Every structure is written in C-alpha cells, then in structure tokens.
Amino acid sequence: MDSNILLVVIQGIGWVVIGYMVLVILFYFFMLLVALFQIRRKYQLDNTEPYEDLLNVSYSKPLSILVPAYNESVGIIPSIRSLLSIEYPQYEVIVINDGSKDDTLDKLMEEFQLKKIKKIVKQKLTTKNVKGIYQSTIYDNLFVIDKENGGKSDALNVGINVSSYPYFCSIDGDSILERDAFLKVMKPIIDSDGEVIATGGSVRIANGSVIENGSISKVGLSRNPLVIMQVIEYLRAFLMGRVGLSRHNLLLIVSGAFGVFSKKWVIDAGGYLHTVGEDMELVVRLHRLVKEKKAKNKIVYVADPVCWTEAPEEMTYLKRQRNRWHRGLFESLWMHRSMAFNPKYGSIGMVSMPYFILIEFLGPVIELGGFLYILLSFFLGGIYIEMALLLFLLFIIYGSMYSMLAVLMEEWSLRRYPKAKQITVLFFYSLTETLWYRPLTVIWRCQGIIDVLRKKRGWGDMQRRGVSQ
C-alpha cells in the first residue's frame, strides 16, 4: 500500500511539472510573438531612421557615463577608449576605482595622464570616503575617482554624486560599446520628454571578436562551447524576454552592464543599495516609486544599441556568476515582496512580480524536479516512461526550440553576426541546450537558492582575460 501511494505521488509530481512547463511555454510563446512584431517593426523596417538630430547639442540631453572598476586592469583601457570615441554630443566619462588591489589606477593614470583636481561634490547619497578626483589632461571629459572599497553599489553612488549631468549610464569596466549605442538608447528618453526614466540596451558576448582602438572591428564567435551557449542565452534573454516585457512596461531588469537612468529619479529612490543584484533592485524600486507617486513614467528596453562584454570561459566562474544572479534575483524580490500580487502596483504587482517569482526564481526547482523525474522513470517503466518522454519533449521546446528561435530572430532582424557559419554554429549548439547546458544552469541556480537559505552574501571572485584578446 505504501509503495502504491509513493507511485501515485511520483505520478502526481510528474503531472504538476508537465502542467507547469505547458503554462511557461505558452507564456514565452506570447512574449515571442510580441518580440517578433516589436523587433521587426522598430529595428528592421525602420532601420533607416535618422539619428542626426540627436547629435545636435540643443536637442539631446547631456549624459554622465559611470564606470565602476574593481581590479579591472586587464580590460579597463580599451573599455575607456571605446567610451571616449562614442557618437554623442555632450557627455562625461567617470571611472570609479573602488579600492582596486591591482594596478587599475596606475594604468589609468599613465594612459590618460591624469591630474588631481579640486571639485565641489554635493553629498546627495551617502558613500564611502573619496580619496581623490582626477581629470585627464588629454580628454577634458574624462574623470577618475579613487575611493575606499565599498562595492559596486557604493561606487555608482559616488559617481552619481560627482556627475554633472541629468542622466547617467552605468556600464561594467570590461565592456565595449558600439559607437552609436548612446544615440539609440537615449532616443526613447529624448522623444518621451522625460516620461521614460530608464532605458537598457542589449548586451552581447565579446569573446572571439577582434577589438581595435577600443571598438569592435570584427564580430567573431568563440570556439569554447560554454561561451557559445552564453551567446545563445543572451540572445534569448534580451531579444525574447526583455523586448516582450518592455512592450507593456513590465521590465524589472536593466542590465548593470549597460543602462541609462534619470539621476533625479534615482536620487529620489535612494540610489543604489548594497545588494548582490543592485541593478534589478534599483529598477524594481523605481517602478515602486512611480506607482506610489501615481505617475506614468516608464522603463524601456531598446534592442538595437549593443554593449559587448566578456563572458566567463571556465565552468567554475560561470557557476559563480549564475549563482550570484539567482541570489540577486531573490534579494530584489524579497525586499519588495509586498508588491507581489498587489493590485496597488498595477501590472508590475499582478504580472511582472509573479512572473519573476514563479518562473524566473522558482522555475529551476521545477525543472530540476522534471530532470530527476526523467531519470527515475527509467527504473519505474510503464506509464512513467511515457510521461518522461512528454516531459522531455516540453524541455526541448522550452530550452532548445526557443533558443533556436532566438538565433533566427537575431539573423532576421539585427544581424550582428555577419557570417552564415556563425549562425549555423549557434543554431547547432542551441539544439543541444536541453541535453547538457540547461541542466547545468538549473543546478547552479538551485544552488543559489540553497545559498540564499544559508544567508551567503558576496560576489565571489571572477576571472578577467580582457575582451580585446
């Protein structure tokens, strides 16, 4: 009798996982349709849209570019050079050296001939002590702040205090921007006359590309299978996920690698908090502030402007990254849990928060249960094998098929990868996702949940090879 009850329970778990996967697939199918129409209309049919007006100082809005840097010696110089060569009429670049233990500051001092200056700074956000502010004698719009170590959030808050302009962009110290990226990512802010208070651009993997003079001269594809799978993962996350959510102002994530914010709104919200996922937490807090003020401001995603960044090439570092991302997701959701399923916060409370809780955060647990069920079915046989096959088919659709569609969307619309061979490789690897890469990321994200329960904090060390290599 006990064994029969156990078998019924196992079968029930199988049906729960199957039902969950069907609902998730349908939800993603809806987002896919939204993304297809949005990308095709805005970024392919309108690809001749002029940006010349944005080069006019009187029309555009000046921008402060904040680059928090901690032990970024390997990639900081080409990243800053790429920022100094962007097409935008009025901007400043502020590098915040967050107590680096390597020679990040020394390299900046030598490369850009920095000179210490006196600058009056309004302490709008409380931060760690600033040791000194430097200005380049070669580029008037390049500043470097040397400060005590306080983490990425603290470094960004220092940058906000020092910045001179009404909008700021936060990018990672190992990132390379396309020259017209800011013209495109600022356009929704300018066109909306302030209604849009934050925008995010696409982030792509730079590993395998050729970088000269701080810009991508030739888009390439790494031969490392882990990196190739991350390329596919980024395509899926940005082209399908964020385009679909942004269309209805449901976006809760603006990547810390490339996002533009209204300084006034961020200061009113209290700046960046010291969390593992400071970028998502700030966006959720901005949505909360907008709803509580009963305003109509928006946070949008722009697919076309691209920021290229370095991806982990070894499993150890990729595991740490995904673990950290999942802990950061939980932290943001937990801090603002009162918004979830709360009609006071409109579609953010009733759609976006539940989506991130039930699909993004708890999804790995359900998926892991599904993978374990498939393995268990080989020992149980009978109907369990049939259910396992159905479940595996759903995993193929959710993992491999949607990733394949993301690759096709890239080729159909933005076409950042010019060679047919590159698209073929991406397409082939996307077919294998369910077989090895997806289970790995599911396990790492579940470990992130365990670390949340253990109250583990911190980023963990990440390896930098330099995007120019």
Instruction: Check: CB of residue 274 under 8 Å from CB of residue 151.
Output: yes
Kindly give the pairing relationship between strand 91-98 and strand 63-69: parallel
Check residue 468 and give its pLDDT.
Answer: 44
Q: Which residues of the chain have pLDDT under 50?
A: 1, 44-48, 468-469
Beta strands in 24-83 (DSSP E): 63-69
Residue with tokens 């659709």: 397
Of 23, 28, 32, residue with least CA distance to 239: 32
C-alpha 121/C-alpha 125 separation (Å) is 11
**Dihedral angle computed from the Cα positions of residues 312, 315, 321 and 323, in that order, rounded to the nearest 10 degrees:** 170
Check residue 48 and give its pLDDT.
Answer: 45
Contacts 24+ apart (CB under 8 A), 286-293: 286/197, 286/198, 286/261, 287/252, 287/339, 287/345, 287/348, 287/352, 288/336, 288/339, 288/345, 288/348, 289/265, 290/197, 291/344, 291/345, 291/346, 291/348, 291/349
> What are 14's two structure tokens?
């199988």
Per-residue DSSP letter, 441:
H
- Quick check: helix, strand or coil at residue 312? coil
Check residue 448 and give its pLDDT.
Answer: 95
CA 329 vs CA 264, 310, 398: distances in Å = 25, 21, 21
Global pTM reads: 0.91
Check residue 257 and give its pLDDT.
Answer: 81
Instruction: Check: CB of residue 44 under 8 Å from CB of residue 142.
Output: no
Of 456, 439, 358, residue with least CA distance to 400: 439
Of 462, 196, 171, 173, residue with least CA distance to 312: 462
> What are 283's two structure tokens?
């966006």
Within 8 A by CB and 6+ apart from 44, the residues are 412, 413
Instruction: Check: CB of residue 445 under 8 Å from CB of residue 364.
Output: yes
